[in-house]
Amino acid sequence: MVDYKIKTNDSFTEKVGELVCMLEHSREVTLHDISQLNQSELDCLPHDSSNSIGSLLLHIASIEFVHQVISFEERDLTKDEYLKWGPALEIGDKAREVIRNHSIDYYLDELSRVRENTLTYLKSKKDSWLFEENKWGNGVPYNNYYLWFHVMEDEINHRGQIRTIKRLLRHK
């Protein structure tokens, strides 16, 4: 049963626990929306320049992975990491070409694996970490709280796209 309350979790500090609660709720809703999709539905491209549901799911996982690297490891992606995640990060022509022919279990496993790492990292962080600031290469400041808000925001945004594609599939 879905719990419609933001609360902390004893495994985390107060603010980090609230963030985890929001991340987990967002993920729970996403998983509910996709759990019954078959490979054909996951690969469907409503038009030539759209993204498949599968691509969007890997994009959600890739954004979370990149934010792990930036916020927890304080570095950029390696070449090998970019080779793995690049098409999903960019969700364009390359993603349409290579992200296909996977079952729902493949996407669920990727989302789960990345999330498990996030939760492991977050257990080691104190609330003050959320407010630690850094700057992008162009000098624009950000803090860790914003990075993880963006992970959630991005998932919710792409879940809306997934719902739109599912509606289109029902009318085919």
For tokens 């790492």, what's the residue?
A: 117
Domain coordinates of the chain in residue numbers?
Answer: 14-170
What number of H helices and E strands is found in the chain?
8, 2
pLDDT at 171: 80
Which residues lie closer than 8 Å to 64 by C-beta, 6 or more apart?
Answer: 114, 115, 118, 151, 155
| Residue-level pLDDT at 10 | 87
Structure tokens at 25: 């709720």
Architecture of the domain delimited by 14-170? Up-down Bundle (1.20)
Does residue 145 register a pLDDT over 90? yes
Q: What is the mean pLDDT of residues 134-139?
A: 93
pLDDT at residue 172 in the model: 66
Q: pLDDT for 61-86, tens place per residue?
A: 999 999 999 999 999 999 999 999 99
Biggest CA–CA distance in the chain, Å, is: 50
